[in-house]
Amino acid sequence: MSSPEPRRPNRLDQPREPGRVQLPRFDPEAFGRWSESIARYMGTAKFIVYMTIVISAWFAWNTLAPASMRFDPYTFTFLTLILSLQASYAAPLILLAQNRQTDRDRLAMEEDRRRAAMQKADTEYLTREIASLRIALGEVATRDFLRSELVRLADELDEAANRRQKRERKEVKRERKEWEPDHS
């Protein structure tokens, strides 16, 4: 017994599998960008001005034109239908654009939180390091302490030099005294 040949998609000689409706595929990101561009355009003064001009022209044509040329008489049913159709498509597109903006805002907020947490951790680390340096500096000689010690040592050296000079003078005087009686 041979195994049945596997079905290949899009073959005209074989029936489709039941329950499998092939819907068109679309890129959700591209559709989202497109909806944002429409929503962004509908929120501009340019769109409002163009819409006002079109509706005014519609009213003018259907009220001022000869009766035989009017395509939407007084109650403007066709205009109402077109505006309703526009609103029925605009609302979901605007909502989609708002949802995408909400997602971007949420991601930005999460990134801000992450950065704030990192900055807090860095600040706490630096605070601990500064505290440990202050503790270590308490055990290390400060500039003022070193200066006072150097001044004290310089004074001691000056005193020692003065004592040495006095001793040397006394010795010179004593040697002179001893030398004079022998050479006179």
> For the segment 141-150, what is each residue's pLDDT rounded down to a tens digit?
778 888 999 9
Q: Do 106 and 171 fall within a single domain?
A: no
Give me the number of domains the chain comprises: 2
Query: What pLDDT is attached to residue 4?
Result: 58
Q: 166: helix, coil or strand?
A: helix
Q: Are residues 95 and 47 in the same domain?
A: yes
Instruction: Report pLDDT for 176.
Output: 81
User: Are 109 and 146 part of one and the same domain?
Assistant: no
Task: Please state the separation of Cα 117 from the chain's center in Å.
Answer: 13
- Within-domain flag for 125: no
Q: Which residue has the higher pLDDT, 114 or 74?
A: 114
Residue 111: count other Cβ atoms within 10 Å of its Cβ. 10
Q: Is residue 131 part of a domain?
A: no
Confidence check: pLDDT of 27 > 60: yes
| Statement to judge: residues 52 and 97 lie in one domain | yes
Q: Is 158 inside any structural domain? A: yes
Residue 165 lies in a domain: yes
The answer to whether residue 174 sits within a structural domain is yes
Residue 92: domain span: 28-114
**34, 36, 37, 39: CA torsion to nearest 10:** 120
117-174 per-position pLDDT tens digit = 999 999 999 999 999 988 877 777 778 888 999 999 999 999 999 999 999 988 888 8
19/3: higher pLDDT: 19
0.75 exceeded by pTM: no
The answer to the question of residue 119 being in a domain is no
Is 9 part of any domain? no
Tell me the per-residue pLDDT of 57-90, one tens digit each, with 9 for 90 and over: 999 999 998 989 999 888 899 999 999 999 999 9
Residue 143: per-residue pLDDT: 80
CA–chain centroid gap for 171, Å, is 84
